[in-house]
Structure 1
Amino acid sequence: MGHEKPEAGRTAVRVEWAVVPSPVGPLLLAATERGLVSVVFHADGRVRERALERLAGVLGAELVESATGRLAEPIRQLGAYFGESLRSFDVKLDWSLVTGFNRQVLRELADGVPYGTVVGYGELARRVGQPTAAQAVGSAMGANPLPVVVPCHRVIESDGGIGGFGGNLETKRRLLALEGVLPEPLF
Protein backbone atom coordinates (compact mmCIF):
# COMPACT_ATOMS: atom_id res chain seq x y z
CA MET A 1 0.00 0.00 0.00
CA GLY A 2 1.42 3.39 -0.95
CA HIS A 3 2.01 6.04 1.65
CA GLU A 4 0.55 9.40 0.81
CA LYS A 5 2.54 12.51 1.60
CA PRO A 6 1.11 14.72 4.30
CA GLU A 7 -0.15 18.16 3.37
CA ALA A 8 2.40 20.97 3.50
CA GLY A 9 3.15 21.85 7.09
CA ARG A 10 1.92 18.53 8.49
CA THR A 11 4.24 15.83 9.67
CA ALA A 12 3.37 12.24 8.93
CA VAL A 13 1.43 10.48 11.65
CA ARG A 14 2.50 6.93 12.45
CA VAL A 15 -0.55 4.70 12.69
CA GLU A 16 -0.15 1.23 14.08
CA TRP A 17 -2.84 -1.28 13.20
CA ALA A 18 -3.85 -4.85 13.83
CA VAL A 19 -6.80 -7.09 13.02
CA VAL A 20 -8.12 -8.98 16.02
CA PRO A 21 -10.83 -11.64 16.23
CA SER A 22 -14.03 -10.94 18.16
CA PRO A 23 -17.44 -12.57 18.61
CA VAL A 24 -18.82 -10.07 16.05
CA GLY A 25 -16.13 -10.79 13.47
CA PRO A 26 -12.63 -9.43 12.84
CA LEU A 27 -12.00 -5.90 14.07
CA LEU A 28 -9.36 -3.59 12.64
CA LEU A 29 -7.87 -1.43 15.39
CA ALA A 30 -5.62 1.52 14.64
CA ALA A 31 -3.79 3.85 17.03
CA THR A 32 -1.67 6.96 16.81
CA GLU A 33 0.64 8.22 19.54
CA ARG A 34 -2.41 10.05 20.99
CA GLY A 35 -4.53 6.90 21.32
CA LEU A 36 -6.96 4.58 19.60
CA VAL A 37 -8.15 6.32 16.42
CA SER A 38 -10.21 3.71 14.60
CA VAL A 39 -12.17 0.50 15.09
CA VAL A 40 -13.57 -1.12 11.93
CA PHE A 41 -16.03 -4.03 11.85
CA HIS A 42 -15.83 -6.98 9.42
CA ALA A 43 -12.16 -6.22 8.71
CA ASP A 44 -11.46 -8.92 6.16
CA GLY A 45 -9.82 -8.30 2.80
CA ARG A 46 -11.20 -5.28 0.96
CA VAL A 47 -12.84 -3.72 4.06
CA ARG A 48 -9.45 -3.74 5.80
CA GLU A 49 -7.65 -2.32 2.76
CA ARG A 50 -10.19 0.50 2.29
CA ALA A 51 -10.01 1.41 5.98
CA LEU A 52 -6.22 1.54 5.90
CA GLU A 53 -6.23 3.62 2.71
CA ARG A 54 -8.66 6.06 4.32
CA LEU A 55 -6.49 6.39 7.44
CA ALA A 56 -3.39 6.97 5.34
CA GLY A 57 -5.13 9.65 3.31
CA VAL A 58 -7.06 11.48 6.02
CA LEU A 59 -4.27 11.48 8.60
CA GLY A 60 -1.35 11.71 6.16
CA ALA A 61 -0.26 8.57 7.94
CA GLU A 62 2.52 6.08 7.74
CA LEU A 63 0.86 2.72 8.41
CA VAL A 64 2.63 -0.09 10.24
CA GLU A 65 1.32 -3.30 11.67
CA SER A 66 1.43 -3.06 15.45
CA ALA A 67 5.05 -2.66 16.44
CA THR A 68 5.41 -0.75 19.72
CA GLY A 69 2.46 -2.10 21.64
CA ARG A 70 0.17 0.93 21.26
CA LEU A 71 -2.67 -1.51 20.66
CA ALA A 72 -1.93 -3.90 23.52
CA GLU A 73 -4.26 -2.18 26.01
CA PRO A 74 -7.14 -1.61 23.56
CA ILE A 75 -6.88 -5.26 22.48
CA ARG A 76 -6.83 -6.41 26.12
CA GLN A 77 -9.83 -4.27 27.03
CA LEU A 78 -11.86 -5.37 23.99
CA GLY A 79 -11.14 -8.98 24.92
CA ALA A 80 -12.35 -8.31 28.47
CA TYR A 81 -15.46 -6.51 27.14
CA PHE A 82 -16.38 -9.45 24.90
CA GLY A 83 -15.56 -11.81 27.79
CA GLU A 84 -18.11 -9.87 29.88
CA SER A 85 -15.60 -8.79 32.53
CA LEU A 86 -15.23 -5.14 31.41
CA ARG A 87 -18.08 -2.66 31.42
CA SER A 88 -16.24 0.62 30.82
CA PHE A 89 -13.32 1.26 28.47
CA ASP A 90 -10.38 3.21 29.80
CA VAL A 91 -8.11 3.70 26.81
CA LYS A 92 -6.72 6.91 25.37
CA LEU A 93 -8.68 8.01 22.31
CA ASP A 94 -7.49 10.06 19.36
CA TRP A 95 -10.53 12.06 18.18
CA SER A 96 -8.84 13.44 15.05
CA LEU A 97 -11.18 11.62 12.63
CA VAL A 98 -14.27 13.41 13.95
CA THR A 99 -14.98 17.11 14.48
CA GLY A 100 -17.66 19.60 15.48
CA PHE A 101 -21.14 18.38 16.32
CA ASN A 102 -20.23 14.75 15.66
CA ARG A 103 -17.36 14.91 18.15
CA GLN A 104 -19.58 16.59 20.75
CA VAL A 105 -22.26 13.88 20.38
CA LEU A 106 -19.77 11.01 20.44
CA ARG A 107 -18.03 12.35 23.54
CA GLU A 108 -21.40 12.65 25.31
CA LEU A 109 -22.21 9.09 24.26
CA ALA A 110 -18.86 7.79 25.53
CA ASP A 111 -19.16 9.61 28.86
CA GLY A 112 -22.90 9.52 29.48
CA VAL A 113 -24.36 6.21 28.31
CA PRO A 114 -22.99 3.37 30.43
CA TYR A 115 -22.85 -0.35 29.75
CA GLY A 116 -26.24 -2.04 29.75
CA THR A 117 -28.21 1.13 29.02
CA VAL A 118 -29.53 2.75 25.86
CA VAL A 119 -30.42 6.27 24.80
CA GLY A 120 -32.68 7.59 22.05
CA TYR A 121 -31.35 9.71 19.19
CA GLY A 122 -33.54 12.62 20.35
CA GLU A 123 -32.44 12.33 23.97
CA LEU A 124 -28.79 12.39 22.93
CA ALA A 125 -29.52 15.49 20.81
CA ARG A 126 -31.07 17.15 23.88
CA ARG A 127 -28.05 16.27 26.01
CA VAL A 128 -25.77 18.22 23.67
CA GLY A 129 -28.11 21.21 23.55
CA GLN A 130 -29.60 20.54 20.10
CA PRO A 131 -33.08 19.09 20.83
CA THR A 132 -34.19 19.10 17.18
CA ALA A 133 -31.07 17.37 15.89
CA ALA A 134 -32.04 13.69 16.28
CA GLN A 135 -31.35 13.02 12.60
CA ALA A 136 -27.93 14.67 12.89
CA VAL A 137 -27.22 12.43 15.90
CA GLY A 138 -27.96 9.47 13.64
CA SER A 139 -25.42 10.79 11.15
CA ALA A 140 -22.88 11.20 13.96
CA MET A 141 -23.42 7.57 14.94
CA GLY A 142 -22.81 6.51 11.33
CA ALA A 143 -19.58 8.53 11.28
CA ASN A 144 -18.29 7.08 14.59
CA PRO A 145 -14.68 6.00 13.96
CA LEU A 146 -14.51 4.16 17.31
CA PRO A 147 -17.52 1.82 17.54
CA VAL A 148 -17.80 -0.49 20.55
CA VAL A 149 -15.36 1.70 22.53
CA VAL A 150 -17.56 4.74 21.82
CA PRO A 151 -20.80 2.74 22.09
CA CYS A 152 -22.99 3.87 19.19
CA HIS A 153 -24.74 0.49 19.44
CA ARG A 154 -26.44 1.88 22.58
CA VAL A 155 -28.38 4.51 20.59
CA ILE A 156 -31.90 3.43 19.64
CA GLU A 157 -35.08 4.91 18.21
CA SER A 158 -37.50 6.72 20.53
CA ASP A 159 -40.18 4.07 19.91
CA GLY A 160 -37.81 1.35 21.10
CA GLY A 161 -36.77 0.24 17.61
CA ILE A 162 -33.17 -0.82 17.28
CA GLY A 163 -32.30 1.89 14.73
CA GLY A 164 -29.47 1.65 12.24
CA PHE A 165 -25.88 0.56 12.67
CA GLY A 166 -22.81 0.84 10.46
CA GLY A 167 -21.57 -2.59 11.55
CA ASN A 168 -24.92 -4.14 10.46
CA LEU A 169 -28.01 -4.76 12.56
CA GLU A 170 -27.05 -8.29 13.59
CA THR A 171 -23.83 -6.93 15.09
CA LYS A 172 -25.81 -4.26 16.97
CA ARG A 173 -28.20 -6.92 18.30
CA ARG A 174 -25.30 -9.07 19.47
CA LEU A 175 -23.63 -6.15 21.27
CA LEU A 176 -26.89 -5.18 22.98
CA ALA A 177 -27.48 -8.82 23.97
CA LEU A 178 -23.93 -9.03 25.39
CA GLU A 179 -24.77 -6.01 27.57
CA GLY A 180 -28.10 -7.52 28.67
CA VAL A 181 -30.28 -4.94 26.87
CA LEU A 182 -31.74 -7.54 24.49
CA PRO A 183 -32.24 -11.26 25.05
CA GLU A 184 -29.65 -13.60 23.55
CA PRO A 185 -30.74 -14.90 20.14
CA LEU A 186 -32.31 -18.36 20.26
CA PHE A 187 -30.21 -19.54 17.32
Structure 2
Amino acid sequence: MKAIETALQGCFIIEPKIIGDSRGYFFESFNESKFAEAIKQEVHFVQDNQSFSSYGVLRGLHAQAGEYAQAKLVRVLQGEVLDVAVDLRKDSPTYLQHVSVVLSAENKKQLFVPRGFLHGFLVLSQTAEFFYKCDNFYNKDAEIGVKFDDPTLAIDWKIALDEMIISEKDQSLPYLNQLDR
Protein backbone atom coordinates (compact mmCIF):
# COMPACT_ATOMS: atom_id res chain seq x y z
CA MET A 1 0.00 0.00 0.00
CA LYS A 2 1.24 3.44 -0.93
CA ALA A 3 -0.13 6.58 0.77
CA ILE A 4 0.29 9.88 -1.05
CA GLU A 5 -0.58 12.97 0.96
CA THR A 6 -2.67 15.42 -1.05
CA ALA A 7 -2.32 19.19 -0.88
CA LEU A 8 -4.64 19.00 2.14
CA GLN A 9 -2.86 18.10 5.35
CA GLY A 10 -3.94 14.64 6.56
CA CYS A 11 -5.88 13.74 3.40
CA PHE A 12 -4.29 10.84 1.50
CA ILE A 13 -4.70 9.00 -1.79
CA ILE A 14 -4.17 5.30 -1.09
CA GLU A 15 -2.82 3.13 -3.89
CA PRO A 16 -2.97 -0.61 -3.24
CA LYS A 17 -0.36 -3.11 -4.34
CA ILE A 18 -2.13 -5.13 -7.04
CA ILE A 19 -1.00 -8.64 -7.82
CA GLY A 20 -2.23 -9.72 -11.22
CA ASP A 21 -1.79 -12.59 -13.63
CA SER A 22 -3.72 -14.33 -16.39
CA ARG A 23 -6.43 -15.34 -13.89
CA GLY A 24 -7.18 -11.79 -12.76
CA TYR A 25 -5.92 -9.82 -9.78
CA PHE A 26 -5.74 -9.70 -5.99
CA PHE A 27 -5.16 -6.80 -3.64
CA GLU A 28 -5.54 -6.09 0.03
CA SER A 29 -8.13 -3.31 0.17
CA PHE A 30 -7.60 -2.61 3.87
CA ASN A 31 -5.16 -3.67 6.57
CA GLU A 32 -5.44 -1.66 9.79
CA SER A 33 -1.76 -1.83 10.79
CA LYS A 34 -0.42 -1.09 7.28
CA PHE A 35 -2.93 1.74 6.90
CA ALA A 36 -1.91 3.33 10.22
CA GLU A 37 1.75 3.09 9.28
CA ALA A 38 1.10 4.61 5.83
CA ILE A 39 -0.85 7.66 7.08
CA LYS A 40 1.09 7.98 10.36
CA GLN A 41 -1.97 7.78 12.59
CA GLU A 42 -4.33 5.18 13.96
CA VAL A 43 -7.90 5.15 12.72
CA HIS A 44 -10.41 2.60 13.96
CA PHE A 45 -13.25 2.17 11.48
CA VAL A 46 -16.62 1.17 12.94
CA GLN A 47 -19.08 1.37 10.05
CA ASP A 48 -19.08 0.48 6.33
CA ASN A 49 -21.48 2.10 3.86
CA GLN A 50 -22.19 1.47 0.20
CA SER A 51 -24.22 3.32 -2.41
CA PHE A 52 -25.20 2.77 -6.03
CA SER A 53 -25.78 5.74 -8.35
CA SER A 54 -26.15 6.55 -12.02
CA TYR A 55 -24.30 9.02 -14.24
CA GLY A 56 -24.48 12.60 -13.05
CA VAL A 57 -25.58 11.84 -9.49
CA LEU A 58 -23.85 14.24 -7.13
CA ARG A 59 -23.85 13.39 -3.44
CA GLY A 60 -22.46 16.07 -1.18
CA LEU A 61 -20.95 18.06 0.25
CA HIS A 62 -21.52 16.41 3.64
CA ALA A 63 -19.91 16.00 7.06
CA GLN A 64 -20.82 15.31 10.63
CA ALA A 65 -20.00 17.89 13.28
CA GLY A 66 -18.58 17.87 16.78
CA GLU A 67 -18.19 14.61 18.65
CA TYR A 68 -19.84 12.81 15.73
CA ALA A 69 -17.27 13.92 13.13
CA GLN A 70 -16.16 11.09 10.85
CA ALA A 71 -13.00 10.18 9.01
CA LYS A 72 -13.72 8.17 5.86
CA LEU A 73 -11.81 5.80 3.63
CA VAL A 74 -13.62 5.82 0.29
CA ARG A 75 -13.32 3.74 -2.87
CA VAL A 76 -15.26 2.71 -5.95
CA LEU A 77 -16.19 -0.93 -6.51
CA GLN A 78 -17.75 -0.41 -9.97
CA GLY A 79 -17.61 2.59 -12.28
CA GLU A 80 -15.90 5.95 -11.82
CA VAL A 81 -16.47 9.03 -9.67
CA LEU A 82 -14.94 12.42 -9.06
CA ASP A 83 -14.36 12.42 -5.32
CA VAL A 84 -13.99 15.74 -3.49
CA ALA A 85 -12.77 16.58 0.01
CA VAL A 86 -12.93 20.11 1.48
CA ASP A 87 -10.90 21.09 4.55
CA LEU A 88 -13.32 22.66 7.03
CA ARG A 89 -10.85 22.70 9.95
CA LYS A 90 -10.54 26.35 11.01
CA ASP A 91 -7.04 25.87 12.43
CA SER A 92 -5.70 24.15 9.32
CA PRO A 93 -3.27 25.82 6.89
CA THR A 94 -5.45 24.42 4.08
CA TYR A 95 -8.76 25.67 5.53
CA LEU A 96 -11.46 25.90 2.80
CA GLN A 97 -9.19 24.36 0.18
CA HIS A 98 -10.32 21.23 -1.64
CA VAL A 99 -8.87 18.29 -3.47
CA SER A 100 -10.55 16.20 -6.14
CA VAL A 101 -9.46 12.81 -7.40
CA VAL A 102 -10.94 10.32 -9.85
CA LEU A 103 -11.63 7.03 -8.10
CA SER A 104 -12.59 4.04 -10.18
CA ALA A 105 -12.92 0.29 -10.15
CA GLU A 106 -10.12 0.31 -12.70
CA ASN A 107 -7.54 2.42 -10.81
CA LYS A 108 -8.53 0.98 -7.40
CA LYS A 109 -7.38 4.15 -5.64
CA GLN A 110 -8.90 5.13 -2.32
CA LEU A 111 -9.12 8.49 -0.59
CA PHE A 112 -8.70 8.95 3.14
CA VAL A 113 -10.76 11.94 4.26
CA PRO A 114 -9.94 13.00 7.85
CA ARG A 115 -12.39 14.29 10.43
CA GLY A 116 -13.28 17.93 9.88
CA PHE A 117 -13.66 17.66 6.11
CA LEU A 118 -16.68 18.00 3.86
CA HIS A 119 -16.96 15.16 1.37
CA GLY A 120 -18.86 14.55 -1.84
CA PHE A 121 -18.70 12.72 -5.12
CA LEU A 122 -20.06 12.89 -8.65
CA VAL A 123 -20.65 9.79 -10.81
CA LEU A 124 -18.75 10.03 -14.11
CA SER A 125 -19.59 6.56 -15.48
CA GLN A 126 -22.96 5.10 -16.48
CA THR A 127 -23.31 3.73 -12.93
CA ALA A 128 -21.06 3.46 -9.88
CA GLU A 129 -20.93 1.54 -6.64
CA PHE A 130 -19.30 3.62 -3.94
CA PHE A 131 -17.99 2.10 -0.70
CA TYR A 132 -16.65 3.78 2.42
CA LYS A 133 -15.49 3.07 5.91
CA CYS A 134 -16.24 5.52 8.75
CA ASP A 135 -14.48 5.86 12.08
CA ASN A 136 -17.59 7.08 13.90
CA PHE A 137 -21.22 6.06 13.78
CA TYR A 138 -23.71 8.10 11.76
CA ASN A 139 -25.80 10.58 13.73
CA LYS A 140 -28.56 12.38 11.83
CA ASP A 141 -28.60 15.31 14.27
CA ALA A 142 -24.89 15.98 13.62
CA GLU A 143 -25.25 16.30 9.82
CA ILE A 144 -23.86 19.42 8.21
CA GLY A 145 -23.32 20.28 4.59
CA VAL A 146 -22.43 22.93 2.07
CA LYS A 147 -23.94 23.40 -1.36
CA PHE A 148 -21.88 21.76 -4.10
CA ASP A 149 -21.62 24.93 -6.19
CA ASP A 150 -20.43 27.25 -3.43
CA PRO A 151 -18.52 30.06 -5.20
CA THR A 152 -15.96 30.27 -2.38
CA LEU A 153 -14.91 26.68 -3.10
CA ALA A 154 -15.09 26.95 -6.91
CA ILE A 155 -15.04 23.16 -7.40
CA ASP A 156 -14.78 21.99 -11.01
CA TRP A 157 -17.17 19.04 -11.06
CA LYS A 158 -16.17 18.12 -14.65
CA ILE A 159 -19.69 17.92 -16.08
CA ALA A 160 -22.37 20.50 -16.87
CA LEU A 161 -24.95 21.44 -14.25
CA ASP A 162 -27.79 20.28 -16.52
CA GLU A 163 -26.29 16.77 -16.50
CA MET A 164 -26.22 16.58 -12.69
CA ILE A 165 -28.79 14.77 -10.60
CA ILE A 166 -28.89 16.31 -7.13
CA SER A 167 -31.28 15.49 -4.30
CA GLU A 168 -33.57 18.21 -2.96
CA LYS A 169 -31.76 17.90 0.36
CA ASP A 170 -28.36 18.58 -1.26
CA GLN A 171 -29.77 21.40 -3.39
CA SER A 172 -31.05 23.12 -0.24
CA LEU A 173 -27.74 22.98 1.65
CA PRO A 174 -26.36 26.38 2.71
CA TYR A 175 -23.40 28.16 1.19
CA LEU A 176 -20.30 28.55 3.37
CA ASN A 177 -21.20 32.13 4.27
CA GLN A 178 -24.52 30.86 5.64
CA LEU A 179 -23.00 27.98 7.62
CA ASP A 180 -22.63 28.37 11.36
CA ARG A 181 -18.91 27.60 11.60
TM-score by length of 1: 0.25
Name the structure where helix makes up a greater proportion of residues: 1
Name the structure where strand makes up a greater proportion of residues: 2
TM-score by length of 2: 0.26
Q: Which one has more relative contact order, counting CA pairs under 8 Å at least 6 apart?
A: 2
